[in-house]
């Protein structure tokens, strides 16, 4: 792979070298033809979020027998990720911003509440079972007397 290659032309050359059409590649990768063409033409504004583009470049490269890691590196060299979009850097930020339920109670208090609800439901089931048994006089069968 030549470092002067752009990702779009590199992928197109790889596809053409394998004699694949865009339609065949679309079926193999499950990526829409329009998106594959946008990728080959380097029309990144017509493509979705970077995470999808990175995945598509890897899938495209695998489908045409090229090295997916090298293809993604070529993409990163041509279109470097910005700030929070760097692969691997965003996970701690996402986790750090995950909403924490704040209802004024601690985890222990919520857990106790859950146990109380379960015990209450078990008491209801036990009461209904006992009521049915007493109502039918302990007979479980539906036979005639």
Residue 14 in contact with residue 66, Cβ under 8 Å? Answer: yes
The whole-number pLDDT of residue 96 equals 47
Q: Which residues of 107-132 are buried (b: 16+ CB within 10 A; e: fewer)?
A: eeeeeeeeeeeeeeeeeeeeeeeeee
Q: What's the CA gap between 56 and 72, in Å, rounded? A: 9
Distances (CA, A) of 119 to 97, 106, 128, 132: 35, 20, 14, 20
Per-residue confidence band for 120, with pLDDT thresholds at 50, 70 and 90: very high
DSSP three-state, residue 35:
helix
User: Mean pLDDT, the chain, as a whole number?
Assistant: 80
Q: Tell me: the pLDDT tens digits for 59-114?
A: 999 999 999 999 999 998 888 876 554 555 554 544 444 455 555 656 567 778 88
Residue 33 has pLDDT above 90, yes or no: yes
pTM of the model: 0.55
The whole-number pLDDT of residue 138 equals 58
Tokens of 46: 């017509």
Tokens of 127: 């009461």
Q: What's the CA gap between 13 and 18, in Å, rounded? A: 9
Q: Interior CA angle at 134 toward 131 and 138, to 5°?
A: 130
Share of the chain above pLDDT 70, in %: 71
Sequence-distant (≥ 6) Cβ neighbours of residue 113 within 8 angstroms: 105
The whole-number pLDDT of residue 111 equals 78
The whole-number pLDDT of residue 54 equals 92
The whole-number pLDDT of residue 109 equals 72
Q: What's the CA gap between 61 and 141, in Å, rounded? A: 68
């Amino acid at each position: 792979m030549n470092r002067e290659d752009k990702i779009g032309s590199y992928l197109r050359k790889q596809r053409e070298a394998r004699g694949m059409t865009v339609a065949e590649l679309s079926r193999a990768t499950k990526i829409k033809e329009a998106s594959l063409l946008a990728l080959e033409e380097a029309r990144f504004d017509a493509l979705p979020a970077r995470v999808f583009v990175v995945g598509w470049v890897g899938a495209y490269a695998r489908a045409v027998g090229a090295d997916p890691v090298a293809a993604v590196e070529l993409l990163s060299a041509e279109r470097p990720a910005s700030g929070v979009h760097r692969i691997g850097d965003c996970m701690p930020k996402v986790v750090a911003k995950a909403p924490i339920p704040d209802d004024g109670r601690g985890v222990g208090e919520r857990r106790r509440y859950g146990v109380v609800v379960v015990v209450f439901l078990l008491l209801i089931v036990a009461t209904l079972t006992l009521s049915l048994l007493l109502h039918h006089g302990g007979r479980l069968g539906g036979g005639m007397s």
